[in-house]
Amino acid sequence: MTLLQLLLLLFLLICALMAGRIKDLISSVIIFAAYSLTMALLWQQLNAPDVAITEAAMGAGVTTLLLFAAISRTERME
């Protein structure tokens, strides 16, 4: 494993922990998008470009938009 892959794995772990622990939903969705983009980078590093493109499009793109749409339809309590 290269140093870049280890750093990406560490960032992936931090994103996963933060997305579950943070209370603000919008921030959690943004962190989840960063998680998905990091996964796409890891798939690219592991020589799986087809999986990387799918992860970037579905995980970081479509899923993030759907989560933002669902949050926008709810009322925000402060």
Query: CB neighbours (10 Å) of residue 35?
Result: 20
Residue pLDDT, tens place only, 10-67: 999 999 999 989 988 899 999 999 999 999 999 999 999 999 999 999 988 999 999 9
* Helix segments in the chain, DSSP class H: 3-21, 25-45, 49-54, 63-72
pLDDT at 76 over 80: no
> Angle between the 25-45 and 63-72 helix axes, to the nearest 10 degrees?
180
Q: What is the pTM of this model?
A: 0.87
Look up residue 39 and give its amino acid: M
